[in-house]
Structure 1
């Protein structure tokens, strides 16, 4: 597999594009296997994309999970084109905005009112500001990946310490760690902002316990469902686990790749918007709203999520068979629509070394798995695609065995 054109463009981009220049030092969750993964894509359709060198890939990355129906879905794209041709950047509200919010209120548990924004960070940032204004409190407790703004960015550089002083975090599936924060600040916490899960599933009673603690101490519960909504279930983790938050942030699979997000929840909290400043020139642009409305209606009209769950389960079951047969310390984790592999080689350096072996083999087979981020199954993924993915994974596990990454070999080293 040649990647000459991709790397040529990458070298040029590093000189003029700040985001491209930082790629080699970006956080680990964005790292691929250097020299093996393409950098520039040419086009995409369905469950596949093609890089600028003409190589075709079966895509389980799906633009960080924003694509759920498949790349370039004609129903979604046609809806966007129609809206563009009618003039999508008027600055006034357009009917599609009200239609989309109405649709959300029918789908998202606990949604009495909603507001549309552009990005996931917009939505979580708006949730925090509204929570502070509504409760009259300043402290925020967060867990998971919640965006790039000062209160939640993963890197401290460039962020004043004062921005961090009012933000705490806790240990997932450990209610005592959360209760300790409330006991330390009984009247100071405005909200708990958390992903309902990342890879590890919530233990029975955990999300319910978080819900009870926030009520007990008068804080708001905000579920960051940027990844999980419209994928785990149409109504997200709230629907799947039966726990309802006060506010919920939505994006990613919401619009099959188009840039739009939403904040939904209690009307009394969202009406606090009248007293705070949250604004953007592009919030009213209707192109992405048309994409979201078309995506949601298509998801509601068929068995797309059942298809995604079924193929995700088949992929996970096949991976479990391969791991058991290979004897490598790798666990199949995550929910079927968002599967992943957890490497347990003994140290993070060893994990990354083993990942480079495995993912170099799978990408060589034309299967694009992200080494350090959830994978995703789309409605365009087929049974044949799962066969190809499992064949590629078999090559990856064989490469791990050949490189001495089995449990037996690791035990002999120690």
Structure 2
């Protein structure tokens, strides 16, 4: 599996493209399976993509989970093309905007109003600003990955300390840690912004407890469903777990890869938009709205998400058998539509080294799995694809055994 053209393009790009220089591959620079993963894609169709060297991959990355129906879904793409031909960038509202929001209000629990934006960070940032304006409070409590803006970015460098001073975080599945923050800043916390889950699932009663605590303290609850929305269920984690937040942010699988996000929830909170400044040149562009409407209507049939769940269960079952067979210190985690394989080799450094062995083997088999992020299953994936992925994973376990990870201590030479 040659990657010469991909690496050649990368050498050119890193001289002129700041993002390419910073983040070659889809994997952060300190977590790469260097030399094995493609950098430039050429095209994609269904459950597969091809890199610029002509190699074909079974895709469980799916553009960080934005693709739910499969790459280049004909119904979605045709809806976009129709909208483009009608002129999609007028700057004025188009009827499809109202049509799409109406669709959202029918399927998202607790949604009385909605607004459309472009990115997940747009949506979470807008939610925080509205919550602060509505409550008259400044403090925010957050958990999970909520975007790249100053209040939630993963890295502090380049962010004034004052931007972080009003933001706290808590321990997932630990209600006492959240309760302590709410008590410490009683009457000053505008909202709790959280992903309903990341890899670890919520313990029984945890999300319900978060809802009760926020109500008790007059604090708004915002569920960041950028990843889980339209994937775990058509109504997202709210529907799956039966817990309703005050506001919900949505994106990713919303439009099968097209750039759009939404903020939905209580009408009284969203009407606070009259008093704050939230704007963007491209919010009104209707091409992505057409993609979202077509995607949501296909998902509402029910068969696609049920298929994704069943395929995810098949993948997880096969992986669990391999973990047991090889007696590996690994665990199959996550929900079936977005599974993951957790490594437990004795610390982050050792885990990353073990991952290089495992994922170098799986990518050589033509199966694209992200070593450090959720995997995703699409409705275009087949049972045969899942079996292919399990066979590739077997090659990964064999590589771990061959490199010494599953038979005592491994030599230091990596």
Preserved CA contact (<8 Å) 2:186 2:217: yes
Is 1:36 aligned to 2:36, yes or no? yes
Is the contact between residue 24 and residue 39 of structure 2 (CA under 8 Å) also seen in structure 1? Answer: no
- 8 Å CA contact 1:251, 1:260 repeated in 2: yes
Query: 1:71-107, CA deviations, whole angstroms, 9 ceiling, x for partnerless residues?
Result: 0000000000000000000011001100000000000
Question: C-alpha separation between the residues in 2 aligned to 1:43 and 1:26?
Answer: 16
Q: Which residue of 1 aligns with 2:103?
A: 103
Deviation at 1:24, TM superposition (A): 5.2
Distance 1:52 1:331, change over 3 A: same
Corresponding position of 1:192: 192
Counterpart of 1:237 in structure 2 is 237
Measured against aligned partners, the alpha-carbon deviations of 1:277-301 in whole angstroms (never above 9, x if no partner) come to 0001100000000000000001112
Structure 1 counterpart SS, 2:300: helix
Deviation at 1:379, TM superposition (A): 0.2
What is the deviation of 1:31? Answer: 3.9
Q: Is the Cα–Cα contact under 8 Å of residues 250 and 262 in structure 2 kept in the other structure?
A: yes
In the TM superposition, 1:221-370 aligns within 5 A as: 221-370=221-370
CA distance 1:25–1:369, shift in 2 (3 Å): closer
Answer yes or no: is the 8 Å Cα contact 1:193–1:222 preserved in 2: yes
Matched length: 412
Moved over 3 A (4+): 24-32, 410-413
Instruction: Indicate conservation of the 8 Å contact 2:23/2:29, yes or no.
Output: no
- Deviation string 1:130-164 (CA, Å, 9 cap, x unpaired) is 00000000000000000000000000010000000
CA-based RMSD of the aligned residues comes to 1.5
Q: Is 2:398 aligned against 1:398?
A: yes
Unpaired segments of 5 or more residues in structure 1? Answer: none
Contact residue 25 and residue 38 of structure 2 kept, 8 A? no
With structure 1 as the length reference, what TM-score do the two structures score?
0.98
SS at match of 1:409: coil
Deviations 1:180-225 (A, max 9, x none): 0011000110000000000000000000000000000000000000
Which position in structure 2 is the counterpart of 1:82?
Answer: 82
Unaligned ranges ≥5, structure 2 = none
Deviation at 1:256, TM superposition (A): 0.1
1:94–1:42: structure 2 CA closer, same or farther, 3 Å change rule? Answer: same
Q: Per-residue deviation at 1:29?
A: 9.0
TM-score normalised by L of structure 2: 0.98
